[in-house]
Amino acid sequence: MSRPFLLGVLGGMGPLATVDFMHKLLRATPATHDQQQIPHVVWNVPQIADRQRALAGEGPSPLPQLLYGIQQLNRLGVSHIVIACNTAHHWYEALKQESDAPILHIADATLEAIEDKPKKVGLIATQGTLDAGWFQQRFAAIGTESLLPTQDEITRWFVPGCYAVKRGDLQQGGELLTLQARALRERGAEKLVLACTEVPVALAAISSPYLNEAIDPAEALAQQCATLWLSRRNDRIN
């Protein structure tokens, strides 16, 4: 017998991005009253070790804390789990092996959300996400080329823009990440993939013109959750 639908969200990376994902869950779900919204529980613990620094060899691995979060969500009886952080998917396989509930992959959800097949997409992501290649591999499978930020762009714009969001300076974060978006578009990207959960938050804060036609993996993941929920919405949680 399958579990009633209860979504588990592994968050806190960062906390604002997790709250933004929860808002996207609400927007993705057609509902006329409270009871039609997605039932979910959130592990929003910001003390998880920094993912970017861990992958750069400059800090401890977050894996033990991620595993603990997965364990707690499973203890609550969730039917599915999502990770509200792109970079944390570096540890996806290790988390998947320890979870009773299936863990959805944000890159798979992103591919499902693409209605057309752009020839070139520009990836805005952490160095860890870019190095892992999840998005590039999936786009290559549909004949789409991935354009990546240069190392100089990551150092000057992406990293300080991302950490500006984490400290609450959305204005500066939005301005820096808009420069990154502009550079990728000028190099020929037909679409931008905002493959770091801080990026859409920052671009939205300054009404960046590059947000409107971008692909937001967090939004795609929320839509995948909504689709799953709609297929099982008659289940009841006891």
Q: What are the tens digits of pLDDT across the range 17-76?
A: 999 999 999 999 999 999 999 999 999 999 999 999 999 999 999 999 999 999 999 999
Delineate the domains of the chain, giving CATH numbers in brackets. Answer: 7-105+219-231 (3.40.50.1860), 115-214 (3.40.50.1860)
Q: What are the tens digits of pLDDT across the range 158-181?
A: 999 999 999 999 999 999 999 999
Q: What are the tens digits of pLDDT across the range 120-146?
A: 999 999 999 999 999 999 999 999 999
The catalytic residues are 85, 196
The DSSP secondary-structure symbol of 50 reads P
Predicted TM-score (pTM) of the model is 0.94
Distance, C-alpha 30 to centroid of its chain: 21
Q: H or E segment at 188?
A: none
What distance in Å separates the CA atoms of residue 26 and residue 226, rounded to the nearest whole number? 9
